[in-house]
Amino acid sequence: MSNQTASLQKTARFAGFLYFLVAVFSFFSIMYVPSQIMVKGEAARTFQNLLTHEFLFRAGITANLVNFVVFLFLAFFLYKLFRPIDEPLSKILLVSVAVQLPVVFVMEAFNFSALMVAKEMVYESADVTQKQDMAMLLLKLNDYGTIILMLFWGIWLIPFGQLALKSGYLPKVIGIFLIAGGIAYILECLDYILLDRKLSFITNYTSFFHSVAEISTVVWLLVKGVQQKHKEAAFSK
């Protein structure tokens, strides 16, 4: 195996490892922690959960910040992997991830502010009901930020899928699912923003596409790296 081929394989496997970390951090910070804190339509219970599970909530904030830093490194290594195949498309992939970081920092500022309200570090003169409502508002603002991020998750998966198909590094079916997963994210985002979940009977099922796409990509990159027959071809372009 040539040094260039070995470097390509190493980059692919490291990207797979970073993608695995993103999946773990995302599940913990975006799915698990909110499920333990947020109670839909019940500001009082949510407010109490902030105080009862304060460390878990802080861990969720930390995990999400770390998650998006790792996500940026993942995008860089994918850019490095696919740049010989199509540099402009690889740049689109990288930029679509990089622009998410400022949004995430603002979102987590809302989360931290909700905790400060619950701990009476700010908004001290308000009564309990007003504090509960304010904390819930700040948490919901974070949720709305996640909906906006779904648009960028879609934008990054589509060029990723195109690069996977063009390079042949991953099986074609994974590339197709990556593109379909990107479209699914965009549809979910637009359903929330434009239609107020009027298409929920459709978008409730679109998560299948991006879940299959991302899980299969993580497994493939970690276990196989890139397909053997395409390793040398990348350096002949």
Each residue's pLDDT tens digit, 14-44: 999 999 999 999 999 999 999 999 998 899 9
Mean pLDDT over residues 146-174, rounded?
94
Domain locations in the chain?
3-236
Each residue's pLDDT tens digit, 151-160: 999 999 999 9
Q: What are phi and psi of 193, to 5 degrees?
A: -80, -50
Does the structure show a pLDDT above 50 at 233?
no
pLDDT tier for residue 124 given thresholds of 50, 70 and 90: confident
Q: Is 0.75 surpassed by the pTM of this model?
A: yes
- The interaxial angle of helices 207-223 and 128-167, nearest 10 deg, is 60
Instruction: Record the tokens describing residue 236, joined without a space.
Output: 């002949």
Does the structure show a pLDDT above 80 at 67?
yes
Q: What is the pLDDT of residue 137?
A: 94
Single out the residue of 2, 3, 10, 4 nearest to residue 226, CA to CA: 10
Q: How many residues does the chain have?
A: 237
Q: Which of residues 52 and 5 earns the better pLDDT score?
A: 52
Instruction: Record the tokens describing residue 97, joined without a space.
Output: 């991830």
The dihedral over CA atoms of 149, 182, 162, 79, expressed in degrees to the nearest 10, equals 20
Q: What percent of the chain has pLDDT over 90?
A: 78
Give 28-32's long-range contacts (Cβ < 8 A, gap of 24+). Answer: 28/59, 28/60, 28/63, 29/60, 29/61, 29/63, 29/64, 29/67, 30/64, 30/146, 32/60
